Chains A and B, each alone.
Chain A
Amino acid sequence: MAFIELNHVSFTYPDASDPALKDVSLKVERGEFVTLFGASGSGKSTLLRLLKKEIQPHGELTGKITINGLHQNENDGNEEQIGFVFQDPENQVVADRVLHELAFGLENLALPVGEMRSRIAEMVHYFGAEALLNRRTEELSGGKKQQMNLASVLLMQPDLLLLDEPTSQLDPVSSRELLDMLVRLNEEFGMTIIIAEHRLEEVSALSDKMVLMDHGSVAMDADAKSVMRQIWNSPKRLYVPSIPSLYLSSMNQDGEYTRDIPLTVKEGKKWFNQICIQQNKEESRVNHRSGKVLLQAEHLFLKYGKKSDWVIENLNFSLEKGDIYALLGGNGSGKSTLFKAICGIVTPESGRMYYKENRVKGSKNKELIQSIGYLPQNPKLFFLHDTVEKEIEATMERWSLHDRWEVELLLEELGISHLVNRHPYDLSGGELQKAALACLLLRKPEILLLDEPTKGLDPVSKKNLANLLLKLRTEGMTILMSTHDLEFAAQYSTICGMMFHGQITSEDVPERFFKGNFFYTTMIQRLFRGSSLHSILTLEEAVRSCAPGE
């Protein structure tokens, strides 16, 4: 009997017309690493929550869930320990100090103090977090916070660990660290792990089993390699990570797969060395910059408190008309602060800013505010009113816009005209983002500042966002965005910058930018590193320039 068994489980939220889960049957063996993936709203979170009784959503549940051979309702007291890590690192935190946060779960179990202390000592040592113990939780970066949340759950010694998009808010290095931690737990302790994820680049190689959810039912359930093969020939092709995509697209011409599908860079290189590469003429991407400087910052210095460290230190930056500028960098490297300085929300201590060669003075510069549209990292904070419609009306009033027809057209184009009467918080991440974008685009800004627009988006929404950005660019919009999604940056940006320690330490067109990086680079670039095709970054380029020979 499998460790976890779901038998024909259906679940309907109260007042919902359609069930969130439809006839789901799933088996998970002890010690397996299972990845759930699929579009937002396909039922991944609901499925995870149903497995943990304490946080089961209200609604109508039919079917049978058994864990370790016991039905969920009959194993009171003696139940298996299940740990749950949520998506948002911030909201899971209860205590003000790291130590109290770690102890929280143990205190709830009413453990004796001695045992608590030894468990915490051990776990802190394992995580190497001695120095953080007495820090305030709010001072930690997102990545560290998520590790703390994981540690706090692990202290309760779970047999089963459930994670709901745990890396979606983390930078590439932090999310790699978190995944490494999960691999260790899985391999060294045989802990059963079920993780819901959108970014499959890294988890696909770690998973024993991948489950594709589609509209509340399990569409596929198999090991990673066969799932890749199956979805490649289905409309869900966008979910396939870049290395297997490259393999599958190059093999497609022959129609047969001679080898296992490579999932990791290592396997990819092995495959890659066995085939001859017929190198097409290298069409390097030309520098698309227009040369017309739209926005310029010189020697910016900024900090938040008198005694605190510089958040931005001697930063020089320029944005040219028509750029899609992708700003990369770790959590807390100052990207968001730079954005705020550019919009004039925070005033730098010193330095100059120019907009169209005019010096920008003081905060609340009316012209600047009108011509820059700023989408915050958390679009929820953008909305002051309780429906999207009211927010649009307020925007029209604020900027003296009267053309209602144009508004309808814009909403239609973004595909959100059916959502205008909803409360912003009831929208999904992608919809919320579009609604906020609609309010920004109404006032026809010249520059769009997008803070982490790819955060938490599934591949389909991400593709839609990319298409929207490309279209805006052809209409003359200049875009500056920060992102943790390197594949996205490599594919769609015209120029990339790396933010580190309050400065933009390197800046170049994507093909040169990613070439030298070790962590901050795409899977495809890692694959081609050291070969003659080292300037290839994205899947499209790779497919175009290497056709396998005999």
Chain B
Amino acid sequence: MSNRFDRLHPLVSFCYFAGSITLLLAMLHPLFLGAAFVAVLAVTFIYDHGGNLRKWTVFIVISGLFIAILNPVFNERGRHVLFVAYNHRFSLEAILIGGMNALSLMSIIALFVTYNEVMTPNKLLFLFSKIFPQFAVLLMLTLRFIPLMRRRLEEISAVQASKGIYVTDGKLRDRVKNGMLYVQVLLTYSLEEAIQTADSMKARKYGTGRRTSYEYFIFTKTDLAALFYLLILFGTVLYGRIKGLGYLNVYPLMEPLSLSPQEGVTFVLFLLFFIFPFVVEVGGRIRWRL
């Protein structure tokens, strides 16, 4: 599949992800959330190149189940008691709320899998270097230093093991003591080396004035149209939400699940927001054919 969504301006992709998460948190209706979950899974499935979804599946399912089960266990409120076990009333309302929260959480996690694929560090750098140039450098340094520190710690423990000093073996007290020493060495060593990094940054004129960023994405007409599409849908759905649409009142009295005509329209717009990546891909294909 050609990856037109990936090639959109970072601002547009960022709006999609930020908007999706906001809507997932704002809406509380089984139909809305269920539809969003299916849409997000489909999007993730298509953009997941590295098989990351499979890695995350267990985590998504477990955290979903966790929320879905915990709510009825701790919450007895509700008029529709389904059954009583161990003196505990399990109500339909509690299960429904647990299920909705689980759906919204699972969708958010699945969305982050796509987010990691699409919002690469250079796109983030581009977005933020305009607003906070220093933040971009900080992000870049962090991206480099986390793996570097991890490698150094491995190196230190290897060298120390050759001297017969371990953190994995021996008395607990010695192990803790050695572990502290390792971290101390890691910090001293890294600070020492960081002086050289700082010199190399200064030697390349860092901090002398305004910075620009190499990352460059052109904001095209397609991007503008896409941004309008997202903003209009997002605005309308959020307006509906403020008016009480897409929100299922459970307490004190549970509303029927069925959608009113107004709510039905909001539902369609809501879904259109979530399937935005498909709209982009399909739109691209149609233009090709014509």
Q: Check: A222 CB closer than 8 A to any chain B CB.
A: no
CB atoms of A117 and B144 under 8 A apart? no
Which of B148, B205, B216 lies in contact with A108, CB distance below 8 A?
B205
CB distance from B200 to the nearest CB of A (A): 4
CB atoms of B196 and A345 under 8 A apart? no
Which of A95, A120, A378 lies in contact with B140, CB distance below 8 A?
A95
CB atoms of A384 and B185 under 8 A apart? yes
Q: Check: B255 CB closer than 8 A to any chain A CB.
A: no
Q: Contact string, B185-196, partner A, CB cutoff 8 A, digits 1/0?
A: 100110011101
Q: Contact string, B151-190, partner A, CB cutoff 8 A, digits 1/0?
A: 1100110111111111001000000000001101100110
CB atoms of A96 and B140 under 8 A apart? yes
CB atoms of A55 and B144 under 8 A apart? no
Provide the bound-state CA to CA distance between A385 and B185, in Å: 8
**Chain A residues with CB under 8 A of B184:** 384
Q: Check: B141 CB closer than 8 A to any chain A CB.
A: yes
Identity of the chain B residue whose Cβ is nearest the Cβ of A451 in the assembled complex: B159
**Most chain B C-beta atoms within 10 Å of own C-beta, residue among A108, A137, A382:** A108
Identity of the chain B residue whose Cβ is nearest the Cβ of A379 in the assembled complex: B159
CB atoms of B197 and A94 under 8 A apart? yes
Q: Check: B201 CB closer than 8 A to any chain A CB.
A: yes
**Chain B residues with CB under 8 A of A55:** 199, 202-203
Q: Which of B111-119, B206-214, B257-265, B278-286 contacts A (4 or more CB under 8 A)?
A: B206-214
Provide the bound-state CA to CA distance between A376 and B152, in Å: 13
CB distance from A136 to the nearest CB of B (A): 8
Q: Check: B52 CB closer than 8 A to any chain A CB.
A: no
Provide the bound-state CA to CA distance between A138 and B154, in Å: 15
Provide the bound-state CA to CA distance between A153 and B194, in Å: 19
Identity of the chain A residue whose Cβ is nearest the Cβ of B143 in the assembled complex: A96
Q: Check: A105 CB closer than 8 A to any chain B CB.
A: yes
Told that A108-B207, A376-B162, A380-B189 touch, could you supply 14 new A-B pairs with CB distance under 8 A?
A: A54-B205, A90-B193, A91-B200, A94-B140, A94-B200, A96-B140, A107-B211, A116-B214, A138-B148, A345-B161, A369-B162, A376-B158, A381-B156, A395-B163
CB atoms of B163 and A107 under 8 A apart? no
Known A100-B214, A380-B192: A105·B169 in contact at CB below 8 Å? no
CB distance from A337 to the nearest CB of B (A): 10
Label chain B's interface by main secondary structure. helix
Identity of the chain A residue whose Cβ is nearest the Cβ of B206 in the assembled complex: A108
Identity of the chain B residue whose Cβ is nearest the Cβ of A120 in the assembled complex: B214
CB distance from A195 to the nearest CB of B (A): 15
**Chain B residues with CB under 8 A of A109:** 205
Q: Check: B49 CB closer than 8 A to any chain A CB.
A: no
Q: Identify 17 residue pairs between A and B in the complex whose beta-carbon atoms are under 8 Å apart, listed by A's number.
A: A88-B193, A93-B197, A94-B201, A96-B121, A99-B214, A107-B214, A112-B212, A343-B161, A344-B162, A345-B159, A345-B161, A370-B164, A376-B159, A378-B155, A382-B159, A383-B185, A398-B164
Q: Check: A113 CB closer than 8 A to any chain B CB.
A: yes
Identity of the chain B residue whose Cβ is nearest the Cβ of A439 in the assembled complex: B163
CB distance from A93 to the nearest CB of B (A): 7
**Chain A residues with CB under 8 A of B243:** none
Q: Check: B221 CB closer than 8 A to any chain A CB.
A: no
Q: Check: B63 CB closer than 8 A to any chain A CB.
A: no
**Chain B residues with CB under 8 A of A382:** 159, 163
CB atoms of A138 and B144 under 8 A apart? yes
Identity of the chain B residue whose Cβ is nearest the Cβ of A102 in the assembled complex: B214
**Chain B residues with CB under 8 A of A378:** 155
Q: Check: B51 CB closer than 8 A to any chain A CB.
A: no
Q: Check: B252 CB closer than 8 A to any chain A CB.
A: no
Q: Which residues of A come within 8 Å of B, CB atoms?
A: 52, 54-55, 83-84, 86, 88, 90-97, 99-100, 103-113, 116-117, 120, 137-138, 149, 152-153, 156, 340, 343-346, 363-364, 366, 369-370, 372, 374, 376, 378, 380-385, 395, 398-399, 425, 439
Provide the bound-state CA to CA distance between A49 and B214, in Å: 29
Q: Check: B147 CB closer than 8 A to any chain A CB.
A: yes
**Chain A residues with CB under 8 A of B182:** 384
CB atoms of A384 and B181 under 8 A apart? yes
Q: Check: B204 CB closer than 8 A to any chain A CB.
A: yes
**Most chain A C-beta atoms within 10 Å of own C-beta, residue among B141, B192, B200, B213:** B200
Q: Contact string, B204-242, partner A, CB cutoff 8 A, digits 1/0?
A: 111111111110100000000000000000000000000
CB atoms of B196 and A105 under 8 A apart? no
**Chain A residues with CB under 8 A of B192:** 380, 425
Which 5 residue pairs are nearest across A and B when measured between Cβ atoms? A103-B214, A105-B204, A92-B200, A91-B196, A374-B162
Provide the bound-state CA to CA distance between A393 and B260, in Å: 81
Which of A92, A99, A108, A152 lies in contact with B197, CB distance below 8 A?
A92
Q: Check: B75 CB closer than 8 A to any chain A CB.
A: no
**Chain A residues with CB under 8 A of B188:** 425
Provide the bound-state CA to CA distance between A399 and B193, in Å: 31
Identity of the chain B residue whose Cβ is nearest the Cβ of A398 in the assembled complex: B164
Known A374-B162, A384-B181: A92·B196 in contact at CB below 8 Å? yes
Identity of the chain A residue whose Cβ is nearest the Cβ of B139 in the assembled complex: A96
CB atoms of A384 and B144 under 8 A apart? no
